[in-house]
Amino acid sequence: MNIDGTHYRSLWWNHEKAVLEIIDQRWLPHDFRIQAVATLQDFAAAIVQMRVRGAPLIGATAAYGMALAMRLDASDSHMDAAWDALNRTRPTAINLRWALNRCRNALRPLPEADRVDAALKLAHEIADEDVGINRSIGKNGLALIRQIAARKPAGEPVRLLTHCNAGWLATVDWGTATSPMYEAHDAGIPIHVWVDETRPRNQGALTAWELGSHGVPHTYIVDNAGGHLMQHGMVDMVIVGTDRTTRRGDVCNKIGTYLKALAARDNGVPFYVALPSPTIDWTVDDGVAGIPIEERDPMEVSHVQGALADGTIGHAQVSPNGSPCGNPAFDVTPNRLVTGLITERGVCEATPEALAAMFPDLSKIEKIA
């Protein structure tokens, strides 16, 4: 997307320096910093520390991490060591393991001398495919927004609500949940986006920053305002992203998504999930029982980051001294609460039959290596 007239992806390969460059998202929305990721340890740290975040972006980053690993040592043993190091970084988002498996399965049959170029080419392909998938999700989601707009008085905006950041910063470009919003705005359809702050890391601030940079009308709200807005008829549609989706359509997303789905169901508001196919885990049926939920550092709950009065970025403690904090990073929304899944191939119901029909070539996969 464009920032101050310059087009950025969330990551890109610097051919001159032979390193990956990323937008270090820890400092957004207050400071825009670019960082080179030059070692395998850096790749792992970038994912763990959420310099890069969002399931599709984590997957693309891991693919470039495998490419770097092959530059350092293209042996089978080093490939496996790199796979292990990167796979341990975050347990919930399935794109990470999907990308690592895709890389290892493609590289393993090749002679070591051919692996360096092949690995980098594959990482580029994975990144470019993500952009294409997200653009298609945007166009398919646009059709839903058009339908709502057609039922509203002329000039009245379609009011959307989103949770967490499923924007271009969470992918390589365009985003998942935000892609239909950008498409609608660019098509001249009036929209207004309610942006949940999304504690504890306040990823909604990234969404608000993105939307503001694109000129999309929006309002930043506290997490628990969504139900109130729905009760008063101020939300026409909820669109969220997903970090892992089961074969029956259960959706694992940022903590708090489940509560938004419950409020939407209670108030008759359609609840859609923007679903790139690499986030489907065909090996899991019941998301509540089968998806591991990452427990992150309690300090993310006890402290908040923000811009201080002197313009610097700092942290402030909000919890009482001595109070323990819990930090489950994700929750699971059962498929019964999901109105539909917006995929790169179209929109379908959140049922095993509908998902299998949408992706017959993928749904026969019995396990991920």
175 and 240 Cβ atoms separated by less than 8 Å: no
Domain membership of residue 366 (yes or no) is no
Residues 21 and 73 in one domain: yes
Residues 122 and 169 in one domain: no
Tokens of 74: 């293209």
Domain membership of residue 364 (yes or no) is no
Give the integer Cα–Cα distance in Å for 61 and 126.
10
Q: Each residue of 309-347: pLDDT tens digit?
A: 998 999 999 999 999 999 999 999 999 999 999 999 999
What region, left, alpha or beta, does residue 202 occupy, with left being phi > 0 and alpha being psi -120 to 50 degrees?
A: left
Buried b (16+ CB within 10 A) or exposed e, 76-115: eeebeebbeebbebbbbbbbbbbbbebbbebbeeeeeeeb
Residues 77 and 178 in one domain: no
| Sign of the C-alpha dihedral computed for residues 3, 132, 86 and 199 taken in this order | positive
Residues 157 and 44 in one domain: no
If 0-12 CB within 10 Å is exposed, 13-18 middle and 19+ buried, where does residue 221 land? middle
What confidence category does residue 22 fall into, taking pLDDT thresholds of 50, 70 and 90? very high
Return the beta strands (E) in 285-348 as ranges.
303-307, 313-317, 330-333, 340-343, 346-348
pTM for the predicted model, two decimal places = 0.95
Average pLDDT, the chain: 95
Tokens of 358: 């949408």
Residues 154 and 69 in one domain: no
Domain membership of residue 306 (yes or no) is yes
CA-nearest of 269, 259, 206 to 235 is 269
| Sign of the C-alpha dihedral computed for residues 74, 76, 77 and 81 taken in this order | positive
Q: What percent of the chain has pLDDT over 90?
A: 93
Residue finishing a domain among 65, 95, 128: 128
Q: Each residue of 265-320: pLDDT tens digit?
A: 999 999 999 999 999 999 999 999 999 999 999 999 999 999 999 989 999 999 99
| Sign of the C-alpha dihedral computed for residues 169, 349, 248 and 224 taken in this order | positive
Domain membership of residue 78 (yes or no) is yes
pLDDT of residue 365: 64
Give the H/E segment covering residue 129: helix 112-150
pLDDT of residue 4: 76
Show which residues are catalytic: 243
Q: Each residue of 212-231: pLDDT tens digit?
A: 999 999 999 999 999 999 99
Domain membership of residue 311 (yes or no) is yes
Across the range 226-241, mean pLDDT stands at 98
DSSP bridge pairs for 239:
272
Domain membership of residue 160 (yes or no) is yes
Residue finishing a domain among 71, 105, 128: 128
Domain membership of residue 368 (yes or no) is no
Q: Over 50: is that where the pLDDT of 120 sits?
A: yes
What confidence category does residue 367 fall into, taking pLDDT thresholds of 50, 70 and 90? very low
Q: How many domains does the chain have?
A: 2
Give the integer Cα–Cα distance in Å for 54 and 31.
19
Residues 107 and 143 in one domain: no
Residues 200 and 231 in one domain: yes
Domain range for 24 is 2-128
Across the range 193-219, mean pLDDT stands at 97
Residues 238 and 212 in one domain: yes
CATH code of the domain containing 37: 1.20.120.420
